[in-house]
Structure 1
């Protein structure tokens, strides 16, 4: 199951609050239509088949077909010049570079 760092929790909670997303809503992660990339979006509620991750009020919904891809990953966030940036890390995976 996907886990969230404290930074990611704060970022998700902040984004949903700023966007006036209802309490039932959060950030949804899904594969794009061509299944080549991940996309994040603010949604008012999870879809029926989504995996729901609720960590201290930060809600992330992972599409059913995306959940296996993100198993054992950690979602992190940091402030960038362009705004909040999210990254996915898999603990124990070799560093890219």
Structure 2
């Protein structure tokens, strides 16, 4: 199952906090296909078939295809001084 670093968890919480209607929600990752890659969006709730990953209160919702594709991955993030976030995927050790 996908895991998150502390930095990624903090980034997810910051992103979700910016969307008032999703304050108890999370970041949803959807596999948009080989040509597009993964789409990230803020969602107030997971879809019924989503896998939910929780780290320190940060919630990530994975659609079925993304959950399978990211099964052995670690979600990390880089926080910019201007409030920007850059996510990266690594392989679990």
Instruction: Please tell me the TM-score bracket, short chain as reference.
Output: 0.7 to 0.9
Matches within 5 A, 1:30-69: 30-32=30-32, 35-36=33-34, 37-69=37-69
Deviant stretches of 4+, over 4 Å: none
Measure the CA separation in 1 of the matches of 2:6 and 2:56.
10
Please tell me whether Structure 1 or Structure 2 has the larger radius of gyration of its CA atoms. Answer: 1
TM-score scaled to structure 1, two decimals?
0.84
Which residue matches 2:89? 88
Shift of 1:18: 1.7
TM-score scaled to structure 2, two decimals?
0.87
Which residue matches 1:9? 9
Structure 2: unaligned runs, 5 residues or longer:
none
Which residue matches 1:71? 71
Q: Deviations over 1:35-59 (max 9, x none)?
A: 1211111011000000001111100
Structure 1: unaligned runs, 5 residues or longer:
93-97
Preserved CA contact (<8 Å) 2:11 2:79: no
The number of residues matched between the two structures is: 89
